[in-house]
Amino acid sequence: MAGVDMRKIYNFYPIEPAPSPDDLPTGGDLYYECTECSGVVSSVTHIKAACACGNLSGHGGQTTVKDPAKVRVVRGKLK
């Protein structure tokens, strides 16, 4: 996995109101930020990606979340 710092490419803004951890939305401009390690992974990542602590991982258009309570949904805008 490439260690790409998404914050160098995008500005992230929290989704308001915050969605329920039981029903996390997905979309091309939506990202999941791990509140444990601050890693950011696309909600529909097509490349192999994961946060440092392993709470978020994905590839092939799907992202797996181990503990949804430790996820903040953010919208990414190119810098």
Number of structural domains found in the chain: 1
- Inform me whether the pLDDT recorded for 64 exceeds 90: yes
pLDDT bracket for residue 1 (50, 70, 90)? very low
Cα(29)–Cα(13) distance, integer angstroms:
11
> 4-37, pLDDT tens digit by residue?
788 899 999 999 999 999 999 999 999 999 999 9
Question: Any idea which residue has 């392993």 for tokens?
Answer: 54
Q: Is residue 24 domain-resident?
A: yes
Q: Is residue 73 domain-resident?
A: yes
Q: Is residue 1 domain-resident?
A: no
pTM, to two decimals: 0.92
Q: Is residue 42 domain-resident?
A: yes
In sequence order, which residues have a C-beta less than 8 Å from that of residue 29 and are 6 or more positions away?
75, 76, 77
Q: Is residue 60 domain-resident?
A: yes
Cα(39)–Cα(75) distance, integer angstroms:
14
- Inform me whether the pLDDT recorded for 75 exceeds 90: yes
